[in-house]
Amino acid sequence: MKFRSLLAANLTLLIFSCSSSNDEELIIDTTIQFGSPQRVTVQGYDGQIMEPFLSRDGNTLFFNNLNNPSVDTNLHWSTRINNTLFEYQGEIQGVATEDLEGVPTMDQNSTMYYVYTGDYFQTLQSIYTGNYSEGSLSNISVVENLSRNEPGWLNFDVEVSNDGESLYFVDGLYDENGGPRQANFSIARKIGNEFQRDPNSAMLLANINTDDLEYAAAISKNELELCFTRIIGDISVNSEAHIYIASRTASNLPFSEAQEITEITGFVEGPTFSADDNGLYYHKKENGVFVLYYIEKLP
């Protein structure tokens, strides 16, 4: 899960302590089928790959390396050769610190969003933004109005819509035993130059958020399909993460109940859509190492 290992270790130091009126318009699509997963190679990179994000034009794959306290977690980028082969270009410049940076996402205007935990204990903020260009990030600032401003609550995921007007992010609750113990999605909309939590979030996500852990959102360009990760029950050594997909017919309607993508097996997280929204990239744990896979919808 995105940053649960690092934050479980760190947060223990701090904490002691509806549905639409037009139901007939909803599509509960249980017919989406996918083909066989294909292993993806990032040529020139030999580290672990987590939290992939493919730029909306399909040309650049962003990711972070292992999100573990034992390593320096930073943002990386690579360029597309074909659907299952990318060329590694390096760490993103201008953003790397000794603290954790991860979960990159970017809109069509090259505004990037990501998670940074270095100032969390002072500010309770964790989502930042900057202007991306050719492997470098500039004009970095915190995204206000997302944090619940309560110790233990952390926004550990973020996904921006293609048009840059919406953020899909997670409220995660950690306690003295680690966590997260709760994880659900919220939506924020851009009003002027700032994001504000959408008062309709609970209604739009009523079929997505459950008592289980939901995180790692991926939204299609038209915002009619949502992919995400869910863990059933409490976090444990034997927890299994699975990837789900939900749909809707208009962006002002709730998403349908989610369908597990059963073609994706094992401990899997962090989906991101391909440029045409017909494929998904995701990371998978194989023999203790996180690697990248790609899968396409069937016609």
**pLDDT score, position 175:** 85
Q: Which domains does the chain have, with CATH numbers?
A: 4-296 (2.115.10.20)
Contact call for residues 1 and 229 (beta carbons, < 8 A): yes
Residue 194: partners with Cβ closer than 8 Å, 6 or more residues away: 144, 145
Residue 3: partners with Cβ closer than 8 Å, 6 or more residues away: 67, 73, 100, 102, 103, 115, 117, 156
Regions of the chain short of the pLDDT cut 70? 1-30, 236-238
Residue 132: enclosing H or E segment and its boundaries? strand 127-133
**pLDDT score, position 233:** 73
- Rounded Cα distance between 134 and 60, Å, is 10
**pLDDT score, position 11:** 45
* Cβ neighbours of 249 (radius 10 Å): 13
What's this model's pTM, rounded to 2 decimal places?
0.91
* Cβ neighbours of 246 (radius 10 Å): 23
Contact call for residues 92 and 136 (beta carbons, < 8 A): yes
Backbone angles phi, psi at 295, to 5 degrees: -145, 145
**pLDDT score, position 9:** 45
- Rounded Cα distance between 166 and 139, Å, is 20
198-204 — which CB contacts under 8 Å span 24+ positions? 198/166, 202/18, 203/18, 203/19, 203/20, 203/254, 204/253, 204/254, 204/255
